[in-house]
Chain A
Protein backbone atom coordinates (compact mmCIF):
# COMPACT_ATOMS: atom_id res chain seq x y z
CA UNK A 1 0.00 0.00 0.00
CA UNK A 2 1.61 3.25 -1.14
CA UNK A 3 1.43 6.56 0.78
CA UNK A 4 -1.04 7.89 -1.81
CA UNK A 5 -3.30 4.85 -1.22
CA UNK A 6 -3.17 5.56 2.52
CA UNK A 7 -4.13 9.17 1.94
CA UNK A 8 -7.11 8.10 -0.20
CA UNK A 9 -8.22 5.42 2.29
CA UNK A 10 -7.89 7.50 5.45
CA UNK A 11 -9.34 10.56 3.69
CA UNK A 12 -12.33 8.50 2.63
CA UNK A 13 -13.05 7.13 6.13
CA UNK A 14 -12.60 10.53 7.81
CA UNK A 15 -14.76 12.13 5.12
CA UNK A 16 -17.59 9.61 5.46
CA UNK A 17 -17.68 9.90 9.28
CA UNK A 18 -17.74 13.70 9.05
CA UNK A 19 -20.46 13.58 6.40
CA UNK A 20 -22.51 11.10 8.48
CA UNK A 21 -22.31 13.29 11.57
CA UNK A 22 -23.19 16.39 9.52
CA UNK A 23 -26.22 14.76 7.89
CA UNK A 24 -27.44 13.47 11.26
CA UNK A 25 -27.72 16.92 12.79
CA UNK A 26 -31.16 17.91 14.04
CA UNK A 27 -31.95 14.45 15.43
CA UNK A 28 -34.11 15.12 18.48
CA UNK A 29 -36.63 12.28 18.76
CA UNK A 30 -36.52 8.54 18.28
CA UNK A 31 -38.67 9.01 15.19
CA UNK A 32 -35.73 10.93 13.70
CA UNK A 33 -33.15 8.55 15.11
CA UNK A 34 -34.77 5.31 13.94
CA UNK A 35 -36.82 6.34 10.90
CA UNK A 36 -35.10 9.55 9.75
CA UNK A 37 -38.31 11.42 10.60
CA UNK A 38 -40.08 9.40 7.85
CA UNK A 39 -39.00 12.04 5.34
CA UNK A 40 -36.64 10.23 2.97
CA UNK A 41 -36.97 10.06 -0.81
CA UNK A 42 -37.11 6.75 -2.68
CA UNK A 43 -33.72 6.95 -4.38
CA UNK A 44 -31.90 7.60 -1.11
CA UNK A 45 -33.77 4.78 0.67
CA UNK A 46 -33.26 2.50 -2.34
CA UNK A 47 -29.50 3.04 -2.31
CA UNK A 48 -29.48 2.47 1.45
CA UNK A 49 -31.40 -0.81 1.05
CA UNK A 50 -28.80 -1.88 -1.52
CA UNK A 51 -25.86 -0.74 0.62
CA UNK A 52 -27.13 -2.56 3.73
CA UNK A 53 -27.30 -5.81 1.78
CA UNK A 54 -23.79 -5.52 0.36
CA UNK A 55 -21.20 -6.27 2.98
CA UNK A 56 -17.46 -6.17 2.40
CA UNK A 57 -17.31 -9.91 2.34
CA UNK A 58 -20.01 -9.99 -0.35
CA UNK A 59 -17.73 -7.77 -2.39
CA UNK A 60 -14.46 -9.64 -1.92
CA UNK A 61 -16.10 -13.05 -1.45
CA UNK A 62 -18.24 -12.81 -4.59
CA UNK A 63 -15.36 -11.79 -6.85
CA UNK A 64 -13.25 -14.56 -5.31
CA UNK A 65 -16.05 -17.06 -5.87
CA UNK A 66 -16.37 -16.01 -9.52
CA UNK A 67 -12.60 -16.53 -9.87
CA UNK A 68 -12.67 -20.05 -8.44
CA UNK A 69 -16.16 -21.28 -9.27
CA UNK A 70 -17.60 -19.03 -11.99
CA UNK A 71 -20.74 -16.93 -12.12
CA UNK A 72 -23.43 -19.46 -11.16
CA UNK A 73 -23.89 -17.77 -7.75
CA UNK A 74 -25.79 -15.06 -9.67
CA UNK A 75 -28.97 -17.17 -9.69
CA UNK A 76 -29.40 -16.52 -5.94
CA UNK A 77 -30.58 -13.02 -6.92
CA UNK A 78 -33.00 -14.12 -9.66
CA UNK A 79 -35.92 -14.23 -7.23
CA UNK A 80 -35.25 -10.70 -5.97
CA UNK A 81 -37.25 -8.61 -8.51
CA UNK A 82 -40.31 -10.83 -8.02
CA UNK A 83 -39.91 -10.68 -4.23
CA UNK A 84 -39.88 -6.88 -4.40
CA UNK A 85 -43.15 -6.77 -6.35
CA UNK A 86 -44.79 -9.22 -3.93
CA UNK A 87 -43.61 -7.19 -0.91
CA UNK A 88 -44.88 -3.93 -2.44
CA UNK A 89 -48.28 -5.56 -2.88
CA UNK A 90 -48.44 -7.23 0.55
CA UNK A 91 -46.24 -6.42 3.56
CA UNK A 92 -45.03 -2.90 2.76
CA UNK A 93 -48.53 -1.30 2.86
CA UNK A 94 -49.28 -3.08 6.16
CA UNK A 95 -46.05 -1.89 7.79
CA UNK A 96 -46.28 1.61 6.45
CA UNK A 97 -49.87 2.29 7.32
CA UNK A 98 -49.55 0.71 10.79
CA UNK A 99 -46.90 3.40 11.51
CA UNK A 100 -44.68 0.85 13.24
CA UNK A 101 -40.97 1.16 14.04
CA UNK A 102 -40.23 -2.56 13.75
CA UNK A 103 -41.67 -5.34 11.65
CA UNK A 104 -42.25 -7.36 14.83
CA UNK A 105 -44.33 -4.58 16.40
CA UNK A 106 -46.86 -5.24 13.66
CA UNK A 107 -47.12 -8.89 14.78
CA UNK A 108 -48.34 -7.84 18.24
CA UNK A 109 -51.09 -5.77 16.68
CA UNK A 110 -52.08 -8.61 14.40
CA UNK A 111 -51.47 -11.56 16.75
CA UNK A 112 -50.08 -11.18 20.26
CA UNK A 113 -47.16 -10.07 22.40
CA UNK A 114 -45.42 -13.45 22.57
CA UNK A 115 -45.22 -13.76 18.76
CA UNK A 116 -43.77 -10.26 18.55
CA UNK A 117 -41.28 -10.92 21.34
CA UNK A 118 -40.13 -14.27 19.96
CA UNK A 119 -39.58 -12.96 16.42
CA UNK A 120 -37.79 -9.86 17.69
CA UNK A 121 -35.59 -11.99 19.96
CA UNK A 122 -34.71 -14.26 17.05
CA UNK A 123 -33.73 -11.17 15.05
CA UNK A 124 -31.60 -9.75 17.88
CA UNK A 125 -29.88 -13.08 18.45
CA UNK A 126 -29.03 -13.84 14.83
CA UNK A 127 -28.32 -10.30 13.65
CA UNK A 128 -26.38 -9.50 16.81
CA UNK A 129 -23.98 -12.34 16.11
CA UNK A 130 -23.89 -11.87 12.36
CA UNK A 131 -22.98 -8.20 12.80
CA UNK A 132 -19.82 -9.48 14.46
CA UNK A 133 -19.13 -11.60 11.39
CA UNK A 134 -19.90 -8.59 9.15
CA UNK A 135 -17.04 -6.85 10.93
CA UNK A 136 -14.70 -9.80 11.42
CA UNK A 137 -14.58 -11.20 7.89
CA UNK A 138 -13.32 -8.04 6.12
CA UNK A 139 -11.04 -7.24 9.08
CA UNK A 140 -9.34 -10.57 8.58
CA UNK A 141 -8.68 -9.79 4.92
CA UNK A 142 -7.83 -6.12 5.37
CA UNK A 143 -5.46 -6.80 8.25
CA UNK A 144 -3.39 -8.99 5.91
CA UNK A 145 -3.57 -6.44 3.10
CA UNK A 146 -2.84 -3.37 5.24
CA UNK A 147 -0.43 -5.05 7.64
CA UNK A 148 -2.47 -4.10 10.71
CA UNK A 149 -3.44 -6.34 13.58
CA UNK A 150 -6.95 -7.79 13.40
CA UNK A 151 -7.93 -5.93 16.58
CA UNK A 152 -6.82 -2.57 15.18
CA UNK A 153 -8.71 -3.16 11.92
CA UNK A 154 -11.87 -4.14 13.82
CA UNK A 155 -11.65 -1.09 16.06
CA UNK A 156 -10.94 1.28 13.17
CA UNK A 157 -13.84 0.01 11.07
CA UNK A 158 -16.29 -0.55 13.94
CA UNK A 159 -15.41 2.65 15.80
CA UNK A 160 -15.73 4.92 12.76
CA UNK A 161 -19.14 3.41 11.89
CA UNK A 162 -20.48 3.65 15.45
CA UNK A 163 -19.39 7.32 15.57
CA UNK A 164 -21.87 8.53 12.97
CA UNK A 165 -24.67 6.02 13.70
CA UNK A 166 -24.50 6.99 17.39
CA UNK A 167 -24.92 10.66 16.57
CA UNK A 168 -27.34 10.76 13.66
CA UNK A 169 -29.12 7.37 13.64
CA UNK A 170 -30.94 6.31 10.51
CA UNK A 171 -30.58 9.67 8.75
CA UNK A 172 -26.80 9.35 8.94
CA UNK A 173 -27.04 5.70 7.91
CA UNK A 174 -29.09 6.47 4.80
CA UNK A 175 -27.08 9.49 3.61
CA UNK A 176 -23.73 7.79 4.14
CA UNK A 177 -25.12 4.73 2.35
CA UNK A 178 -25.93 6.95 -0.64
CA UNK A 179 -22.30 8.09 -0.81
CA UNK A 180 -20.96 4.61 -0.12
CA UNK A 181 -23.09 3.11 -2.90
CA UNK A 182 -21.82 5.74 -5.33
CA UNK A 183 -18.26 4.82 -4.33
CA UNK A 184 -19.02 1.09 -4.63
CA UNK A 185 -20.55 1.50 -8.12
CA UNK A 186 -17.58 3.59 -9.20
CA UNK A 187 -15.23 0.93 -7.82
CA UNK A 188 -17.04 -1.84 -9.70
CA UNK A 189 -16.82 -0.04 -13.05
CA UNK A 190 -13.21 0.90 -12.34
CA UNK A 191 -12.24 -2.72 -11.66
CA UNK A 192 -14.03 -4.02 -14.76
CA UNK A 193 -12.34 -1.32 -16.88
CA UNK A 194 -8.87 -1.92 -15.45
CA UNK A 195 -9.15 -5.72 -15.78
CA UNK A 196 -10.09 -5.34 -19.47
CA UNK A 197 -7.42 -2.70 -20.13
CA UNK A 198 -4.68 -4.86 -18.60
CA UNK A 199 -5.27 -7.86 -20.87
CA UNK A 200 -2.32 -8.42 -23.24
CA UNK A 201 -2.47 -6.61 -26.59
CA UNK A 202 -3.25 -9.76 -28.57
CA UNK A 203 -6.11 -10.80 -26.22
CA UNK A 204 -9.37 -8.91 -26.60
CA UNK A 205 -12.48 -9.01 -24.43
CA UNK A 206 -14.04 -11.72 -26.61
CA UNK A 207 -10.89 -13.85 -26.26
CA UNK A 208 -11.00 -13.33 -22.50
CA UNK A 209 -14.65 -14.39 -22.33
CA UNK A 210 -13.91 -17.39 -24.57
CA UNK A 211 -11.18 -18.50 -22.16
CA UNK A 212 -13.47 -18.03 -19.18
CA UNK A 213 -16.17 -20.00 -20.96
CA UNK A 214 -13.76 -22.82 -21.78
CA UNK A 215 -12.79 -22.98 -18.10
CA UNK A 216 -16.50 -23.15 -17.14
CA UNK A 217 -16.53 -19.75 -15.44
CA UNK A 218 -19.47 -18.38 -17.47
CA UNK A 219 -21.89 -21.18 -16.67
CA UNK A 220 -24.85 -19.57 -14.93
CA UNK A 221 -28.09 -21.29 -15.88
CA UNK A 222 -28.26 -24.85 -14.55
CA UNK A 223 -31.81 -26.11 -15.22
CA UNK A 224 -31.34 -29.21 -13.02
CA UNK A 225 -34.41 -29.94 -10.86
CA UNK A 226 -32.16 -31.30 -8.08
CA UNK A 227 -32.78 -29.92 -4.60
CA UNK A 228 -29.27 -30.81 -3.47
CA UNK A 229 -27.21 -29.24 -6.28
CA UNK A 230 -26.09 -25.72 -5.32
CA UNK A 231 -27.23 -22.71 -7.35
CA UNK A 232 -29.57 -24.28 -9.88
CA UNK A 233 -31.91 -22.04 -11.88
CA UNK A 234 -34.94 -23.31 -9.93
CA UNK A 235 -33.14 -23.00 -6.62
CA UNK A 236 -32.43 -19.37 -7.50
CA UNK A 237 -35.92 -18.57 -8.76
CA UNK A 238 -37.94 -20.33 -6.04
CA UNK A 239 -35.50 -20.64 -3.12
CA UNK A 240 -34.05 -17.21 -3.91
CA UNK A 241 -37.56 -15.73 -4.03
CA UNK A 242 -38.33 -16.99 -0.51
CA UNK A 243 -34.90 -15.92 0.74
CA UNK A 244 -35.42 -12.38 -0.56
CA UNK A 245 -38.99 -12.25 0.74
CA UNK A 246 -37.67 -13.20 4.18
CA UNK A 247 -34.75 -10.81 4.10
CA UNK A 248 -36.47 -7.74 2.69
CA UNK A 249 -39.86 -8.41 4.27
CA UNK A 250 -39.07 -9.66 7.77
CA UNK A 251 -35.55 -8.57 8.66
CA UNK A 252 -35.55 -5.32 10.61
CA UNK A 253 -32.26 -4.19 9.04
CA UNK A 254 -34.11 -3.89 5.72
CA UNK A 255 -37.64 -3.06 6.89
CA UNK A 256 -36.32 -0.07 8.82
CA UNK A 257 -34.73 1.35 5.68
CA UNK A 258 -37.94 1.53 3.69
CA UNK A 259 -40.09 2.60 6.65
CA UNK A 260 -38.06 5.82 6.48
CA UNK A 261 -39.74 6.75 3.18
CA UNK A 262 -41.80 9.95 3.23
CA UNK A 263 -44.84 8.09 1.86
CA UNK A 264 -45.93 4.60 0.93
CA UNK A 265 -45.09 5.41 -2.69
CA UNK A 266 -41.53 6.37 -1.72
CA UNK A 267 -41.12 3.15 0.28
CA UNK A 268 -42.38 1.01 -2.58
CA UNK A 269 -40.24 2.80 -5.14
CA UNK A 270 -37.13 2.24 -3.03
CA UNK A 271 -37.67 -1.52 -3.26
CA UNK A 272 -38.52 -1.46 -6.96
CA UNK A 273 -35.33 0.54 -7.56
CA UNK A 274 -33.46 -2.47 -6.14
CA UNK A 275 -35.55 -4.82 -8.29
CA UNK A 276 -34.17 -3.07 -11.38
CA UNK A 277 -30.55 -2.73 -10.30
CA UNK A 278 -29.58 -5.61 -8.04
CA UNK A 279 -29.14 -8.41 -10.61
CA UNK A 280 -27.08 -6.24 -13.04
CA UNK A 281 -24.94 -5.09 -10.13
CA UNK A 282 -24.21 -8.63 -8.94
CA UNK A 283 -23.53 -9.59 -12.55
CA UNK A 284 -20.86 -6.89 -12.80
CA UNK A 285 -19.25 -7.89 -9.48
CA UNK A 286 -19.07 -11.53 -10.61
CA UNK A 287 -17.80 -10.49 -14.05
CA UNK A 288 -14.99 -8.60 -12.32
CA UNK A 289 -13.95 -11.86 -10.63
CA UNK A 290 -14.03 -13.69 -13.98
CA UNK A 291 -11.91 -10.99 -15.65
CA UNK A 292 -9.41 -11.19 -12.79
CA UNK A 293 -9.32 -14.96 -13.43
CA UNK A 294 -8.44 -14.36 -17.09
CA UNK A 295 -6.01 -11.56 -16.20
CA UNK A 296 -3.91 -14.02 -14.19
CA UNK A 297 -3.56 -16.27 -17.23
CA UNK A 298 -1.15 -13.67 -18.61
CA UNK A 299 0.41 -12.34 -15.40
CA UNK A 300 2.14 -14.27 -12.60
CA UNK A 301 -0.04 -15.08 -9.62
CA UNK A 302 1.00 -16.24 -6.13
CA UNK A 303 0.69 -19.83 -4.97
CA UNK A 304 -1.57 -18.65 -2.13
CA UNK A 305 -3.40 -15.33 -2.18
CA UNK A 306 -3.00 -14.81 1.57
CA UNK A 307 0.62 -13.66 1.47
CA UNK A 308 1.03 -13.75 5.25
CA UNK A 309 -0.05 -17.39 5.36
CA UNK A 310 2.21 -18.21 2.41
CA UNK A 311 5.22 -16.56 4.07
CA UNK A 312 4.55 -18.53 7.25
CA UNK A 313 4.25 -21.77 5.31
CA UNK A 314 7.51 -21.06 3.51
CA UNK A 315 9.26 -20.47 6.83
CA UNK A 316 7.89 -23.61 8.45
CA UNK A 317 7.93 -26.09 5.57
CA UNK A 318 10.39 -24.69 3.00
CA UNK A 319 11.11 -27.94 1.17
CA UNK A 320 7.49 -29.01 0.76
CA UNK A 321 6.51 -25.54 -0.39
CA UNK A 322 9.37 -25.43 -2.90
CA UNK A 323 8.14 -28.65 -4.51
CA UNK A 324 4.54 -27.38 -4.76
CA UNK A 325 5.75 -24.01 -6.01
CA UNK A 326 7.73 -25.61 -8.81
CA UNK A 327 4.71 -27.65 -9.83
CA UNK A 328 2.55 -24.52 -9.69
CA UNK A 329 4.94 -22.39 -11.77
CA UNK A 330 5.23 -25.11 -14.41
CA UNK A 331 1.43 -25.28 -14.63
CA UNK A 332 1.18 -21.50 -14.77
CA UNK A 333 3.63 -21.30 -17.70
CA UNK A 334 1.83 -24.14 -19.49
CA UNK A 335 -1.54 -22.46 -18.98
CA UNK A 336 -0.29 -19.15 -20.32
CA UNK A 337 1.14 -20.83 -23.43
CA UNK A 338 -2.07 -22.81 -23.96
CA UNK A 339 -4.23 -19.70 -23.48
CA UNK A 340 -2.17 -17.74 -26.00
CA UNK A 341 -2.37 -20.66 -28.43
CA UNK A 342 -6.16 -20.68 -28.05
CA UNK A 343 -6.36 -16.92 -28.67
CA UNK A 344 -4.06 -17.24 -31.73
CA UNK A 345 -6.18 -20.07 -33.11
CA UNK A 346 -9.29 -17.89 -32.76
CA UNK A 347 -7.59 -15.03 -34.58
CA UNK A 348 -6.44 -17.27 -37.46
CA UNK A 349 -9.95 -18.76 -37.82
CA UNK A 350 -8.77 -22.23 -36.80
CA UNK A 351 -10.88 -24.40 -34.55
CA UNK A 352 -9.39 -24.01 -31.06
CA UNK A 353 -8.49 -27.27 -29.28
CA UNK A 354 -8.90 -26.60 -25.58
CA UNK A 355 -7.45 -29.91 -24.28
CA UNK A 356 -3.97 -28.60 -23.37
CA UNK A 357 -5.44 -25.46 -21.81
CA UNK A 358 -7.92 -27.40 -19.65
CA UNK A 359 -5.23 -29.83 -18.52
CA UNK A 360 -2.88 -26.95 -17.53
CA UNK A 361 -5.72 -25.20 -15.70
CA UNK A 362 -6.55 -28.38 -13.77
CA UNK A 363 -2.90 -28.88 -12.88
CA UNK A 364 -2.62 -25.30 -11.63
CA UNK A 365 -5.71 -25.69 -9.47
CA UNK A 366 -4.41 -29.00 -8.15
CA UNK A 367 -1.10 -27.34 -7.16
CA UNK A 368 -3.00 -24.61 -5.29
CA UNK A 369 -5.17 -27.22 -3.59
CA UNK A 370 -1.98 -29.00 -2.49
CA UNK A 371 -0.67 -25.75 -0.98
CA UNK A 372 -3.97 -25.23 0.85
CA UNK A 373 -3.71 -28.81 2.07
CA UNK A 374 -0.27 -28.04 3.52
CA UNK A 375 -1.76 -25.06 5.34
CA UNK A 376 -4.61 -27.16 6.70
CA UNK A 377 -2.27 -29.90 7.90
CA UNK A 378 -0.14 -27.27 9.62
CA UNK A 379 -3.18 -25.84 11.40
CA UNK A 380 -4.49 -29.21 12.57
CA UNK A 381 -7.16 -29.70 9.91
CA UNK A 382 -8.84 -26.28 10.14
CA UNK A 383 -10.23 -25.37 6.70
CA UNK A 384 -8.07 -22.79 4.96
CA UNK A 385 -10.08 -20.30 2.90
CA UNK A 386 -7.98 -18.38 0.40
CA UNK A 387 -10.82 -17.14 -1.82
CA UNK A 388 -11.44 -13.84 -0.03
CA UNK A 389 -7.86 -12.69 -0.60
CA UNK A 390 -7.94 -12.94 -4.40
CA UNK A 391 -9.58 -9.62 -5.20
CA UNK A 392 -7.71 -7.44 -2.66
CA UNK A 393 -4.41 -8.99 -3.80
CA UNK A 394 -5.24 -8.21 -7.42
CA UNK A 395 -6.18 -4.63 -6.55
CA UNK A 396 -3.02 -3.89 -4.61
CA UNK A 397 -0.69 -5.52 -7.12
CA UNK A 398 -2.19 -4.18 -10.32
CA UNK A 399 -4.20 -1.02 -9.86
CA UNK A 400 -2.42 2.34 -10.27
CA UNK A 401 -1.39 4.15 -7.08
CA UNK A 402 -4.27 5.98 -5.49
CA UNK A 403 -6.87 3.89 -7.32
CA UNK A 404 -5.82 0.84 -5.27
CA UNK A 405 -6.47 2.90 -2.13
CA UNK A 406 -9.84 3.86 -3.54
CA UNK A 407 -10.83 0.23 -4.15
CA UNK A 408 -9.72 -0.71 -0.62
CA UNK A 409 -11.91 2.22 0.46
CA UNK A 410 -14.75 0.57 -1.50
CA UNK A 411 -14.28 -2.58 0.61
CA UNK A 412 -14.38 -0.38 3.72
CA UNK A 413 -17.49 1.34 2.34
CA UNK A 414 -19.25 -1.99 1.85
CA UNK A 415 -18.37 -3.08 5.40
CA UNK A 416 -19.40 0.20 6.99
CA UNK A 417 -22.68 0.49 5.08
CA UNK A 418 -23.78 -3.01 6.09
CA UNK A 419 -22.63 -2.51 9.67
CA UNK A 420 -24.32 0.89 10.10
CA UNK A 421 -27.73 -0.39 8.96
CA UNK A 422 -27.46 -3.46 11.16
CA UNK A 423 -26.42 -1.48 14.26
CA UNK A 424 -29.28 0.96 13.78
CA UNK A 425 -31.82 -1.84 13.37
CA UNK A 426 -30.51 -3.75 16.41
CA UNK A 427 -30.84 -0.60 18.50
CA UNK A 428 -34.38 -0.08 17.18
CA UNK A 429 -35.57 -3.60 18.00
CA UNK A 430 -33.98 -3.45 21.48
CA UNK A 431 -35.50 -0.05 22.18
CA UNK A 432 -38.98 -0.46 20.69
CA UNK A 433 -39.67 -4.16 21.23
CA UNK A 434 -38.12 -4.44 24.70
CA UNK A 435 -37.14 -1.20 26.46
CA UNK A 436 -40.24 0.78 25.52
CA UNK A 437 -42.55 -2.24 25.48
CA UNK A 438 -41.58 -3.79 28.82
CA UNK A 439 -39.88 -0.97 30.64
CA UNK A 440 -40.11 2.76 30.37
CA UNK A 441 -43.20 3.66 28.36
CA UNK A 442 -43.26 7.42 28.70
CA UNK A 443 -39.76 8.86 28.67
CA UNK A 444 -39.11 12.33 27.35
CA UNK A 445 -37.74 12.68 23.81
CA UNK A 446 -34.30 13.46 25.21
CA UNK A 447 -34.33 10.39 27.50
CA UNK A 448 -35.51 8.11 24.70
CA UNK A 449 -32.90 9.49 22.33
CA UNK A 450 -30.16 8.97 24.89
CA UNK A 451 -31.30 5.39 25.51
CA UNK A 452 -31.37 4.75 21.73
CA UNK A 453 -27.84 6.10 21.34
CA UNK A 454 -26.60 4.01 24.24
CA UNK A 455 -28.12 0.93 22.64
CA UNK A 456 -26.34 1.76 19.38
CA UNK A 457 -23.08 2.03 21.33
CA UNK A 458 -23.83 -1.24 23.11
CA UNK A 459 -24.42 -3.12 19.84
CA UNK A 460 -21.32 -1.50 18.32
CA UNK A 461 -19.25 -2.71 21.27
CA UNK A 462 -20.88 -6.13 21.07
CA UNK A 463 -20.07 -6.36 17.34
CA UNK A 464 -16.41 -5.49 18.04
CA UNK A 465 -16.29 -8.04 20.87
CA UNK A 466 -17.73 -10.84 18.74
CA UNK A 467 -15.48 -9.87 15.83
CA UNK A 468 -12.39 -9.92 18.03
CA UNK A 469 -13.29 -13.39 19.35
CA UNK A 470 -14.60 -14.77 16.05
CA UNK A 471 -11.36 -16.57 15.25
CA UNK A 472 -11.77 -18.64 18.40
CA UNK A 473 -15.56 -18.94 18.04
CA UNK A 474 -15.30 -20.06 14.40
CA UNK A 475 -17.40 -23.19 14.60
CA UNK A 476 -19.85 -21.62 17.06
CA UNK A 477 -20.51 -18.78 14.63
CA UNK A 478 -21.08 -21.27 11.83
CA UNK A 479 -23.67 -22.99 14.03
CA UNK A 480 -25.37 -19.65 14.73
CA UNK A 481 -25.44 -18.79 11.03
CA UNK A 482 -26.91 -22.17 10.26
CA UNK A 483 -29.45 -21.67 13.05
CA UNK A 484 -30.35 -18.33 11.42
CA UNK A 485 -31.23 -20.09 8.20
CA UNK A 486 -33.59 -22.35 10.20
CA UNK A 487 -35.88 -19.54 11.23
CA UNK A 488 -35.56 -17.01 8.41
CA UNK A 489 -38.21 -18.72 6.29
CA UNK A 490 -40.28 -19.53 9.37
CA UNK A 491 -40.60 -15.85 10.26
CA UNK A 492 -41.72 -15.23 6.69
CA UNK A 493 -44.40 -17.87 7.32
CA UNK A 494 -45.71 -15.90 10.32
CA UNK A 495 -45.92 -12.69 8.31
CA UNK A 496 -47.64 -14.59 5.49
CA UNK A 497 -50.23 -15.82 8.00
CA UNK A 498 -50.72 -12.25 9.22
CA UNK A 499 -51.33 -10.81 5.78
CA UNK A 500 -52.73 -13.64 3.67
CA UNK A 501 -54.84 -15.55 6.21
CA UNK A 502 -57.37 -13.22 7.86
CA UNK A 503 -58.68 -16.04 10.06
CA UNK A 504 -55.26 -17.16 11.38
CA UNK A 505 -55.08 -17.04 15.17
CA UNK A 506 -52.29 -15.87 17.48
CA UNK A 507 -51.92 -19.42 18.76
CA UNK A 508 -51.61 -20.71 15.20
CA UNK A 509 -48.92 -18.13 14.44
CA UNK A 510 -46.86 -18.78 17.57
CA UNK A 511 -46.92 -22.56 17.54
CA UNK A 512 -46.71 -22.59 13.74
CA UNK A 513 -43.45 -20.66 14.07
CA UNK A 514 -42.04 -23.24 16.50
CA UNK A 515 -43.14 -26.11 14.25
CA UNK A 516 -41.63 -24.39 11.20
CA UNK A 517 -38.25 -23.93 12.85
CA UNK A 518 -38.27 -27.54 14.00
CA UNK A 519 -39.16 -28.76 10.52
CA UNK A 520 -36.30 -26.81 8.91
CA UNK A 521 -33.88 -28.11 11.56
CA UNK A 522 -34.96 -31.67 10.72
CA UNK A 523 -34.68 -31.12 6.97
CA UNK A 524 -31.24 -29.53 7.39
CA UNK A 525 -30.05 -32.28 9.72
CA UNK A 526 -31.45 -35.31 7.92
CA UNK A 527 -31.33 -34.43 4.23
CA UNK A 528 -28.69 -33.02 1.86
CA UNK A 529 -31.09 -30.34 0.55
CA UNK A 530 -29.30 -27.12 -0.42
CA UNK A 531 -29.77 -24.22 2.01
CA UNK A 532 -31.61 -22.06 -0.55
CA UNK A 533 -34.62 -24.36 -0.10
CA UNK A 534 -34.77 -24.02 3.71
CA UNK A 535 -36.76 -20.81 3.47
CA UNK A 536 -39.35 -22.49 1.25
CA UNK A 537 -39.67 -25.35 3.75
CA UNK A 538 -39.85 -23.00 6.75
CA UNK A 539 -42.41 -20.58 5.32
CA UNK A 540 -44.64 -23.33 3.95
CA UNK A 541 -44.64 -25.40 7.13
CA UNK A 542 -45.44 -22.39 9.35
CA UNK A 543 -48.25 -21.31 7.05
CA UNK A 544 -49.83 -24.77 6.84
CA UNK A 545 -49.36 -25.66 10.52
CA UNK A 546 -50.61 -22.21 11.56
CA UNK A 547 -53.82 -22.74 9.60
CA UNK A 548 -54.25 -26.28 10.99
CA UNK A 549 -53.76 -25.09 14.60
CA UNK A 550 -56.23 -22.25 13.99
CA UNK A 551 -58.78 -24.75 12.71
CA UNK A 552 -58.23 -27.16 15.62
CA UNK A 553 -58.24 -24.50 18.36
CA UNK A 554 -60.51 -21.71 17.14
CA UNK A 555 -62.14 -18.64 18.68
CA UNK A 556 -60.52 -17.13 21.77
CA UNK A 557 -57.16 -16.33 20.21
CA UNK A 558 -58.61 -14.51 17.20
CA UNK A 559 -58.57 -10.78 17.85
CA UNK A 560 -61.16 -8.79 15.91
Chain B
Protein backbone atom coordinates (compact mmCIF):
# COMPACT_ATOMS: atom_id res chain seq x y z
CA UNK B 1 0.00 0.00 0.00
CA UNK B 2 1.36 3.40 -0.98
CA UNK B 3 2.21 5.56 2.04
CA UNK B 4 0.95 9.13 2.24
CA UNK B 5 3.28 11.99 3.13
CA UNK B 6 2.67 12.82 6.77
CA UNK B 7 0.44 15.75 7.52
CA UNK B 8 -0.67 16.99 4.14
CA UNK B 9 -3.49 15.89 1.85
CA UNK B 10 -2.43 14.31 -1.44
CA UNK B 11 -2.21 16.43 -4.53
CA UNK B 12 -5.30 17.10 -6.59
CA UNK B 13 -8.04 19.59 -5.95
CA UNK B 14 -11.74 19.80 -6.33
CA UNK B 15 -13.03 22.28 -8.85
CA UNK B 16 -16.79 21.88 -8.35
CA UNK B 17 -18.37 25.28 -7.77
CA UNK B 18 -19.60 26.04 -4.27
CA UNK B 19 -23.36 26.65 -4.56
CA UNK B 20 -25.02 29.87 -3.36
CA UNK B 21 -22.12 31.15 -1.28
CA UNK B 22 -19.45 30.98 -3.98
CA UNK B 23 -16.44 30.22 -1.77
CA UNK B 24 -15.71 27.83 1.08
CA UNK B 25 -14.81 30.52 3.65
CA UNK B 26 -18.20 32.16 3.02
CA UNK B 27 -20.16 28.95 3.42
CA UNK B 28 -18.26 28.06 6.63
CA UNK B 29 -18.97 31.55 7.98
CA UNK B 30 -22.65 31.10 7.08
CA UNK B 31 -22.78 27.75 8.94
CA UNK B 32 -21.18 29.23 12.05
CA UNK B 33 -23.37 32.34 12.01
CA UNK B 34 -26.49 30.24 11.50
CA UNK B 35 -25.48 27.94 14.37
CA UNK B 36 -25.00 30.93 16.65
CA UNK B 37 -28.31 32.39 15.51
CA UNK B 38 -30.14 29.11 16.16
CA UNK B 39 -28.58 28.85 19.63
CA UNK B 40 -29.60 32.45 20.33
CA UNK B 41 -33.17 31.70 19.25
CA UNK B 42 -33.21 28.57 21.42
CA UNK B 43 -31.98 30.59 24.41
CA UNK B 44 -34.75 33.11 23.72
CA UNK B 45 -37.35 30.34 23.39
CA UNK B 46 -36.16 28.78 26.64
CA UNK B 47 -36.22 31.97 28.71
CA UNK B 48 -39.18 33.80 27.14
CA UNK B 49 -41.96 34.56 29.62
CA UNK B 50 -44.99 32.97 28.01
Contacts and interface: CB of A to CB of B under 8 A. Distances in A.
Interface of A: 71, 74, 78, 81-82, 84-85, 88-89, 93-94, 96-98, 106, 108-110, 206-207, 209-210, 213, 218-221, 263-266, 268-269, 272, 275-276, 279-280, 283, 498-504, 558-560
Given A265-B18, A500-B7, 9 more contacts: A78-B35, A97-B9, A97-B11, A109-B1, A207-B50, A220-B43, A221-B47, A275-B34, A280-B38
Interface in B34-49: 34-35, 38-39, 42-43, 45-47
Contacts of B50: 206-207, 209-210, 213
Contacts of A503: 6-7
Contact of B6 (A74, A81, A559): A559
Query: Could you say which interface size class chain B belongs to?
Result: 20 to 34
Nearest to B28: A85
B3 interface: yes
B7 A221 contact: no
Contacts of A275: 31, 34-35
B22 interface: no
Interface of B: 1-12, 14, 16-19, 24, 27-28, 31-32, 34-35, 38-39, 42-43, 45-47, 50
Nearest to B2: A109
B2 to A, nearest CB: 7
Contacts of A96: 14
Contacts of B45: 218, 220
A502 B28 CA distance: 25
A220 B46 contact: yes
Contacts of A88: 24, 28
A108 B45 CA distance: 48
Contacts of B27: 272
B42 A283 contact: yes
Contact of A501 (B5, B7, B38): B7
B32 to A, nearest CB: 6
A502 B7 CA distance: 4
Top 7 nearest A-B pairs (CB, nearest first) are A502-B7, A265-B16, A81-B35, A264-B14, A210-B50, A220-B46, A109-B4
A46 to B, nearest CB: 13
Contacts of A268: 24
Contacts of A209: 50
Contacts of A559: 3, 6
B31 A98 contact: no
Nearest to A96: B14
A264 B13 CA distance: 8
B31 A84 contact: yes
A98 B11 CA distance: 9
Contacts of B28: 85, 88-89, 272
Contacts of A81: 31-32, 34-35
Contacts of A71: 46
Given A84-B31, A272-B31, A98 B46 contact: no
B38 A502 contact: no
B31 A264 contact: no
Contact of B46 (A210, A221, A265, A272): A221
Contacts of B14: 96, 263-265
23 contacts: A85-B31, A88-B28, A96-B14, A97-B11, A109-B4, A110-B6, A209-B50, A218-B46, A220-B43, A221-B42, A221-B47, A264-B16, A265-B14, A265-B18, A275-B31, A275-B34, A276-B31, A279-B38, A279-B39, A280-B38, A500-B7, A502-B6, A559-B3
